[in-house]
Amino acid sequence: MDNLSETDMRIYEEELRGFLPRKLFDAHVHLFDGTCLKSGKQFAEKSVYRKFGCEFRIEQYLEWARQSLPEQEIHLNGFGQPSFISDLDASAVYSGRISDNRRFFGMALVSPKDTVEDVVRRVEANRLIGYKPYLNFVDWKDKRDITIHDMLPEEQMAAADAKGLAVVLHIPRDERLADPINQEQMVELCHRYPKAQIIFAHIGRAYYLKNVIGFLDGIAACPNAYVDTAMVNHEGVLEYTFRNFPRGRTLFGTDAPIAMLLGKSVEINNQYAYLMGEDYAIGSTIYDAGQAVRFTSFYYEQLRGIKLAAQRAGLSRDELENIFFNNADKLFRGIAERNYGDQ
């Protein structure tokens, strides 16, 4: 991977060094190697994974961190790349291979079409702490009409509940966190499966202020609901979350390796776009081909956003360390200990 630029070194020195705790737990990482992909399948031309050689192994993350976060120790929860080109069984094997259930944890990718036996086997055989469904695996209806319950069939959730597993959920629908059907089903899911630990990824995909304000109360009241901050660098969204969602159930996450790209998510007129400093497509992308500005990584922008939001919301040092590390460490270690005993 590229060497850290001088600008990035300066950002670390001036803005991050004195702020970051020594240990970071990244609760949302896409990790996989070549064995996890179906043979003959390829990533799209502008896929971010091409930057990393069509894989993102744990060593690549740790090497990036060695340069970019030189004083931090990274712990993480990794799962594969949820798409049709991934082999879900092989991805679970990889996640298991790199997990020690102490510092590194892993999840299985699941499709709603997988039988509950397949899901349980994928998790247990690899000593994983949960699973992650994927929107596009609901391929029997129009994307706009997909609901949370479509993504997470009853039997799979019952298994997660019985074992107290974590489920990382990227919620569907155009209105994301503000969608009334999502609002209802998010709370329903938490109530129906009280022992499953449900992590709403990307703060319910609320990347702009209007999408988050007023919409965290339902899940905030559910003791088994969590949010991860992956790819949210918006200090307003983060501040609102720190003020309105329990700080003991807020998990730092990045969406690495996407977070390693040069770019920033920006709010524009009650929408958001990814302003990109390099020519990869990650959703609503605007590529700065004319190099109007100099970028740093989404990762650093996320850390900056958390710093500013933490100051504004008045987070204590302890609360910050919980969000950056202890909350996820406690959650995932607990699941591993309950299911797999003393390692």
Footprint of Zn ion on this chain (CB under 5 A)?
255
Q: State the number of CA atoms in the 13 A half-sphere of 331 facing the CB.
A: 37
**Residue 231 or 315: which CB sits closer to Zn ion?**
231
Q: Which amino acid is at 147?
A: T
Residue in 128, 65, 127 with CA at minimum distance from that of residue 254: 65
Distance in Å, CB of 276 to Zn ion, minimum: 17
Q: Is the alpha carbon torsion for 282, 143, 254, 210 positive or negative?
A: positive
Cβ nearer to Zn ion, comparing 169 with 323: 169
Q: Give the DSSP letter string of 73-88.
A: EEEEEEE---STTB-H
Q: How far is the CB of 79 from Zn ion (least distance, A)?
A: 8
Q: Which is nearer to Zn ion, 69 or 256 (CB)?
A: 256
Q: How far is the CB of 151 from Zn ion (least distance, A)?
A: 14
Q: Which lies closer to Zn ion via its Cβ, residue 55 or residue 255?
A: 255
In 3-state terms the chain splits into helix, strand, coil percentages (rounded to 5) of 45, 20, 35
Whose CB is nearest to Zn ion? 255
> Which residue number, 8 or 255, has a Cβ lying nearer to Zn ion?
255
Maximum Cα interatomic distance, the chain, rounded to a whole number of Å: 55
Minimum CB separation of residue 28 from Zn ion in Å reads 6
DSSP string, 321-341: HIIIIIHHHHHHHHHHHHHH-
Closest to Zn ion by CB, 232 or 315: 232
Peptide bond between residue 257 and the one before it cis (omega within 30 degrees of 0): yes
CB of 88 to Zn ion, least distance (A): 16
Tokens of 311: 């100051």
> How near is the Cβ of 214 to Zn ion at its closest, in Å?
25
Query: How far apart are alpha carbons 282 and 299 in whole angstroms?
Result: 15
Q: How far is the CB of 228 from Zn ion (least distance, A)?
A: 9
> For residues 81 and 327, which CB has a smaller minimum distance to Zn ion in the complex?
81
Cβ-based nearer residue to Zn ion, 211 or 315: 211
DSSP characters over 131-162: EEE-GGG--SS-GGG--HHHHS-HHHHHHHHH
Distance CA 271, CA 268 (A): 5
Tokens 């609360």 identify what position?
A: 319
Minimum separation from the CB atom of position 52 to Zn ion (A) = 14
CB 171 within 8 A of CB 148: yes
- The helix (H) or strand (E) run that includes residue 285 is strand 285-287
